[in-house]
């Protein structure tokens, strides 16, 4: 029987995080905290179908729940699958409780503030890792591995996106994650590393289209063609890879063609109305999603890449976005509990040594299909 106790905050992507943790032989208990207790109960009932690990639903409001430090002390790791705006406060509560903490992150300013906790708590005996999902998260860890395998890299590019398997006009998109995350993609300035310097570029910058043979089977309309554009989804990776000697780094979101032309004309104050009207197709067995990612590093004439394609899982009803985001986060959480991550606050590319990065990707590869070329 396992001995580790995990608290997962948020029953959305948190469902996939909890599912992966509950399957581990080292897990004793998974608690699900959500502002909507009914959602937390549903996740526990879901876990009961696949695991004998104990599951406890609990009410948790990130803004109102009192004594978070006391609650957190009951666990080995706290995982936030809540919007990024809550993560600084939650991370500090975890440090004060003496437990590890990780989150899905994705907002640069929040991650910067979390790193400042290293100054406030310089001798913390726990690990705090923001930005642990698909991107930021898995893609950046893959880039770090490829860069090390090549003994450095001049150029790093990450292409990633969640797409409907049955795209429909006018957006050719469906809401595969929280509205807030999509809003950041559409309106945040994006940091890119160009000629060794960090530059902030406008959303949809450096737009181009490419053909991906793996995606041809999903839409006869596009025949595998997707669009790519710079976004702020890599958190602080541009700075990290600059410090490692890279001259170029960019993270680009991919969508079916038509998404950019639609959203670049939508002003921020109308975003919520547009989402409600045009992104109301649920992700389910009738309208499944997919996630595609390709990480490429180049050094001189040498090039290496790792790609990922994941699909909605009918057996569990977990979406591809839940799987790729949640499983990665769960693996990082488990390695934190095992003492395999650095102490203090570190982003994923800096939280592991070389062996840790290889182990993390090996574990991810057991559940998600990573293909190296």
* pLDDT tens column, 120-130: 999 999 999 99
Domain residue ranges in the chain: 4-133+324-372, 138-321
Pairwise CA distance, residues 175 & 276, whole Å: 10
Task: Determine the average pLDDT of the residues in 138-144.
Answer: 97
The domain 4-133+324-372 having CATH identifier 3.20.20.390: the answer here is: no
Q: What is the pLDDT of residue 1?
A: 57
The DSSP symbol for 152 reads S
Architecture of the domain delimited by 138-321: 2-Layer Sandwich (3.30)
Helices (H), the chain: 14-22, 37-48, 68-72, 87-97, 108-115, 117-120, 138-149, 179-187, 237-243, 259-263, 271-278, 320-337, 348-351, 354-365
Mean pLDDT score, 262-273:
91
Query: pLDDT tens digits, residue range 311-341?
Result: 999 999 999 999 999 999 999 999 999 999 9
Average pLDDT of the segment spanning 138-163: 96
Looking at residue 312, its pLDDT comes to 97
pLDDT 10s digits, 289-303 = 999 999 999 999 999
How many residues are there in the chain? 373
What is the reported pTM? 0.95
Q: Whose CA is closest to 134, among 44, 17, 257?
A: 17
Domains 4-133+324-372 and 138-321 share a fold: no
Dihedral sign computed on CA atoms, order 89, 95, 99, 104: positive
Q: Decide if pLDDT at 100 tops 90.
A: yes
């Amino acid at each position: 029987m396992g001995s580790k106790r995990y608290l997962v905050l948020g029953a959305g992507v948190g469902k996939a995080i909890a599912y992966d943790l509950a399957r581990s032989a080292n897990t004793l208990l998974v608690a699900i905290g959500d502002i909507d207790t009914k959602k937390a109960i549903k996740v526990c009932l879901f876990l009961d179908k696949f695991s004998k690990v104990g599951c406890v639903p609990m009410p948790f409001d990130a803004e109102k729940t009192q004594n978070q430090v006391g609650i957190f002390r009951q666990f080995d790791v706290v995982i936030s699958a809540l919007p990024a705006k809550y993560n600084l406060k939650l991370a500090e509560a975890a440090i004060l409780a003496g437990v590890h903490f990780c989150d899905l992150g994705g907002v640069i300013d929040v991650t910067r503030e979390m790193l400042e906790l290293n100054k406030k708590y310089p001798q913390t005996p726990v690990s705090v890792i923001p930005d642990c999902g698909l991107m930021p998260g898995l893609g950046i860890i893959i880039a770090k591995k490829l860069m090390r395998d090549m003994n450095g890299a001049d150029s790093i590019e990450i292409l990633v996106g969640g797409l409907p398997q049955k795209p429909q006009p006018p957006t050719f998109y469906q809401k595969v994650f929280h509205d807030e995350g999509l809003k950041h993609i559409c309106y945040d300035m994006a940091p890119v590393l160009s000629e060794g310097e960090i530059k902030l570029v406008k959303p949809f910058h450096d737009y181009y289209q490419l053909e991906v043979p793996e995606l041809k089977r999903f839409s006869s309309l596009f025949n595998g063609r997707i669009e790519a554009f710079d976004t702020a989804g890599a958190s602080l990776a541009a700075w990290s890879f600059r410090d490692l000697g890279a001259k170029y780094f960019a993270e680009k979101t991919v969508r079916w063609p038509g998404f950019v032309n639609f959203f670049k004309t939508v002003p921020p104050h109308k975003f919520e109305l547009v989402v409600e009207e045009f992104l109301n197709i649920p992700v389910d067995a009738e309208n499944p999603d997919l996630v595609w990612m390709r990480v490429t590093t180049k050094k001189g004439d040498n090039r290496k890449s790792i790609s990922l394609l994941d699909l909605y899982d009918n057996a569990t009803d977990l979406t591809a976005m839940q799987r790729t985001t949640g499983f990665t986060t769960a693996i990082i959480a488990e390695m934190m509990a095992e003492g395999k991550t650095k102490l203090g606050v570190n982003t994923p590319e800096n939280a592991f040594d070389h062996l840790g990065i290889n182990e993390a990707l090996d574990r991810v590869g057991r559940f998600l299909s990573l293909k190296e070329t």
